[in-house]
Structure 1
């Protein structure tokens, strides 16, 4: 029991300081840009339709799903092409990018760079040649009623939905608290303020941790480096769990994993960044615990198992990317940082995953979403398998631990 508790406490502490504190800064910067531009960025995108696949891929490449989500309503409105949608989704980094950027920045540079190039090339190819859009659509029509012609946005008859803010069917809290409780709202606002204090302290401790060469940090409390590292980590994760599971129903802005075109105030900007980071924190801690407890209870060497899987590893990485949302992708990214999967699987997943950007497309145009998912998976498998065979041919083994810090 002592070992179980030590693993739990260590994961809770390290996940927040080593990942979440850095995530908070990145999300805050992107949210602040949205706040300062007041939606002008989106208008510029609509005015440059010919550059759609390039712009879409660059937007998808921004950490988190905000940039990619911004592109989806533009397709629904007919402002960008279907190739732009696919390019965006292929390059989408999602919330998993935060994990890799912090734990393996060099791997992130190469993996997402490959995804960017793949997205641009494949996006323009779809716009120019179709690449079998009609054949794929005919297959999809056998599964469900057709909502579009597979390449041109056609709003559903009678529907007034033209923007993801109005059309996403998953839980939302953008327009006010879902529960009336003055006391709980006050508690949540206090938790939000305390969360930012913990994030700031965690960021300072995290920077020092990296500058010192990622040493082992004892589990102690106090004003020393180790004490701040421990207190900030445990406090930050605890508050993140509260905000994610409880606080978002009272705070009036808890649309986790979604992005708005713009934010009306600094408060909304800070709140969105905290809620987005809390979401990432919960999944990162879950991934850490899943990995550590699997090793503890089974004695399984996941890295050896992945190596034995051979070319199936990148195929599996691409398959995981088919799952909408960022949670499974965060788990896979954490596994890579732990040395459990090869770089080819990480890259295949980076190309295949659509993050939360697929949800607004599913809500309004299911056929386009299915076709887009197919189109992001094909290049993911091709590139992932090519990387696997190339690296193995040159060095004789799959690439594990590439670019991982510490």
Structure 2
């Protein structure tokens, strides 16, 4: 029987396994992943990782491996306009540094992050089983049993579900959600451009949704392009020339000629919040607990906050000789994380509804608000500190760069 079983071998699942095993090497931990073993190597996307999360990666001992392939975000600008507007006025700018030499975020290729996390799993002796999904769940007084797609079953003192926003385990555990669809999709694509971006990220608020340009290494940028769902499907499935023309209308010409690299994909956008994060011998983390709009770039980072809080809760309980799967222990994690998650979900929901429209009185009000923030240095510093996770209250130790 395992001490802890993690279902879901993405960034959050692997990080949860590493965080607990590193601090409590005597615990027996395994990871079950539905995807084939090498599929992660084909992921051409990148993710924005905030400063607090990079401190956790430093504690894991893998930031030195990741950093050469990470692009610091040194500046961010925010505009509000229509697609056809010849000029996009800048209403808000942020300098990217929150501490000496530490930018508020980095853009990291997904494959690089997973490779580093898998490497530390190997070094710590964490077993990863591939190609298996959960089909059944049974909770007993001292254990929880997971039936897998190959007919086998694994038993553990604690099960951590990191199996995504459509979590099968969340359903099997009987945890309900609050959710709705925005009628939008996020088109994710990487482009190459002639001129350097100098580490500057841009978020253009357009009537159909935000268009984010996120810098990557080597004169490349990752785009998160929000459109109404039917338009996004049409663009992704349509002619290359039309797609590139529509992209250029939104991107502009400031970085020269553009070239799309790799495939373009569209992901439906919605809000999903679990009504509970825990059950006896069971905990949710990452997108299984919360799926939010990408307008703030905080989705994955919320998952890393879950990991840090859950690991600290589990390890401290183990050191006191307590049962790590006890509902009393797990409720400490839920109390720690649920309000922050709810607040971020509400914030992204309000921001998306506020900025994804072309109602003139609303546009005037939001532009005035952005302008006020831009002119008050203390307020700007507060917002950037919150976004970077540095100024967050009651941060878990891993997010402060401290061992558990």
TM-score higher than 0.5? no
Please state which band the TM-score falls in when normalised by the shorter chain: under 0.3
Looking at secondary structure, tell me which structure has more strand per residue: 2
TM normalised by structure 1 equals 0.25
TM normalised by structure 2 equals 0.25
